[in-house]
Amino acid sequence: MKKVIYGSIAVLVVAFALFFALGPTFTFSSYTVEISPGSPARDALETFAIPEPYRRSGDIEVTGPEGTLPEIATLHFSVSDESDLSDIRSHYQRLCERNNFQFPDDSLQSMDPELLCVKQEERRYSVIFSPSCNDSGCEVQLSVRAI
């Protein structure tokens, strides 16, 4: 673990030194290094506002990217009444349209049943709507995968 922490610090120091010397994007060996504090998945997720009166539980979590693992930004919120899920889903579908995302065709939907909408730009964005319910209510997980 210490090795990873020290390694990360070393890479950051080298990267930021190169940033000041060469700019935000530069080639290192046969790879491209980009200094960019932003997160495409998080930025996209933040355009999908949680409907009133619900409030996010905890912070937005971001994992990846790492190879074929997309960058995934995830948030959660609780819904006490399962019958509200349909309206919440409709709310997000409206936001998909407003944000110029496309709804999946049958093939894509069968591959990813919880997929709400997608957008293909330089990166591919997928919005995933995953409600889980039990006796005490429902938890909605909304994720954006960017790759």
Residues lying near other proteins in the complex (CB under 8 A): 3-4, 6-8, 10-12, 14-15, 25-37, 63-72, 76, 107-108, 110-113, 120, 122-124, 126, 130, 132, 139, 141, 145, 147
Specify the residue, 51 or 65, whose C-beta has the smaller distance to other proteins: 65
Integer Cα distance of 61 and 82 in angstroms = 24
Specify the residue, 48 or 146, whose C-beta has the smaller distance to other proteins: 146
Specify the residue, 90 or 109, whose C-beta has the smaller distance to other proteins: 109
Integer Cα distance of 9 and 18 in angstroms = 14
CB of 33 to other proteins, least distance (A): 5
CB of 57 to other proteins, least distance (A): 10
Identify whether the C-beta of residue 72 lies closer than 8 Å to the C-beta of residue 124.
no
Measured in degrees and rounded to the nearest 5, phi and psi for residue 40 equal: -55, -40
Specify the residue, 11 or 94, whose C-beta has the smaller distance to other proteins: 11
Specify the residue, 48 or 145, whose C-beta has the smaller distance to other proteins: 145
Give, rounded to a whole angstrom, the gap between the first and last alpha carbons of the chain: 27
Is there a cis peptide before residue 53, judged by omega within 30 degrees of 0? yes
How many CA atoms lie less than 13 Å away from 96 in the CB half-sphere?
24
CB of 96 to other proteins, least distance (A): 16
CB of 45 to other proteins, least distance (A): 15
How many residues in the chain? 147
